[in-house]
Amino acid sequence: MNIIEWKNNVLYILDQSKLPFKEDYILCFKYQQVIDAIKKMKIRGAPAIGVATAYGIALAAIKYTGSNILDYLNEVMSEFAISRPTAVNLFFAINRMANILNNNRNLSPSDIKILLLEEAKRIENEEREKSDAISSYGAEIVPEKARILTHCNTGSLATIGPGTALGVVKEAWKWGKLEHVYFTETRPLLQGARLTGWELYKEKIPSTLITDNMVGYVMSKGLVNIVIVGADRITLRGDTANKIGTYMIAVLVNYHNIPFYIAAPFSSFDLNIENGSDIPVEERDSEEVLTCMGKKITLDEIKALNPAFDITPAELITGIITDKGVIYPPFKEKILKIKEEISK
């Protein structure tokens, strides 16, 4: 399943807002259509957002016919930067494309366009490889007869490969280590119910959907023995931004003494930020909370809060499954060691 595909200078994006009932692709002829798809969560998940951003910048370059491509693309990258402020992979992709631009500013516009598209394809291939690695490293630490709880969607729809947290689930199932999966519906946009459920169904993995407020009950009944979730941004000390509701789950697993793992590529680490309190949390339209699947669920006079993410402090995290291996506390020194190894 390709959630992003580049064909004949058009970017095809699987419209996740219509899943699981309809599989439609958005055809992006202009970079503004890619930004719109990101803002409206027609494509979502930190790795997938990063890849879409890279292709969106390449698309802007290819379609540009003016005389100052450098200034134009800097403006385009600024527009992408404000589309989803929490997911660090978006900025990772922008920086990669900006480096191509800045290191080749003396080349002709046609050569720059070729290099940008090649870099977007490179970022896509790298994300696929990272997803495969995360899945394998994660499956190794999954216990036999695992009963996994996961939150939101972290599978192929959120990445380019099998997934991060859900990639681990899929790999553990292949290894015969998985007994059952419990997945949350994930209000307000139901990414769990709509997207994770769809992926688990496609893989024929035994699973049960629960509402977000059933997590404590499921744990108290002994139905879960490990929790694995994804991440949109991880700080230097290991504080993690993920879909709203993750922090609540982390507190509950701490009480019930259940291992709690984050699964994310190393590109989701923001080493410029140490504390989770410094991560910008995206506030989305309150209408998403006041409605469900497009239908009003409360009075017009009611107001709603709608943060898209919350921050789980490092102290509540058992380990972080990355494409470089599993990191255990103390996180900071081990994260810096990986960074140093990558820089060599």
Q: What is the pLDDT along the chain (344 residues), one digit of tens a residue?
A: 689 999 999 999 999 999 999 999 999 999 999 999 999 999 998 899 999 999 999 999 999 998 899 999 999 999 999 999 887 889 999 999 999 999 999 999 999 999 999 999 999 999 999 999 999 999 999 999 999 999 999 999 999 899 999 999 999 999 999 999 999 999 999 999 999 999 999 999 999 999 999 999 999 999 999 999 999 999 999 999 999 999 999 999 999 999 999 999 998 999 999 999 999 999 999 999 999 988 999 999 999 999 999 999 999 999 999 999 999 999 999 999 999 998 87
Please calculate the CA angle 185-216-181 and round it to the nearest 5 degrees.
Answer: 50
* CATH 3.40.50.10470 matches 137-343: yes
Q: Rounded to 5 degrees, what angle do the CA atoms 270, 273, 279 make? A: 85
Q: In the CATH hierarchy, which fold is given to the domain comprising 4-130?
A: Four Helix Bundle (Hemerythrin (Met), subunit A) (1.20.120)
DSSP 81-147: HTTSSS-HHHHHHHHHHHHHHHHTTTS-HHHHHHHHHHHHHHHHHHHHHHHHHHHHHHHHHSPTTEE
Q: List every span in the chain annotated with CATH 3.40.50.10470.
A: 137-343
Beta strands at 10-14 and 269-270: parallel, antiparallel or unpaired: unpaired
Contact between residue 154 and residue 263 where contact means Cβ atoms under 8 Å apart? yes
pTM beyond 0.95:
no
Amino acid at 15: D
User: CA-to-CA distance for 211 and 186, rounded, in angstroms?
Assistant: 7
Q: Could you tell me the two tokens for 213?
A: 């407020």
**pLDDT score at 104:** 95
E strands, 222-308, where? 226-229, 233-235, 240-243, 260-263, 269-270, 291-292, 295-296
Assess contact for 210 and 218: CB atoms under 8 A. Answer: yes
Active site residues: 232
Q: Where in the chain is the domain with CATH 1.20.120.420?
A: 4-130
Residue 1 pLDDT:
60
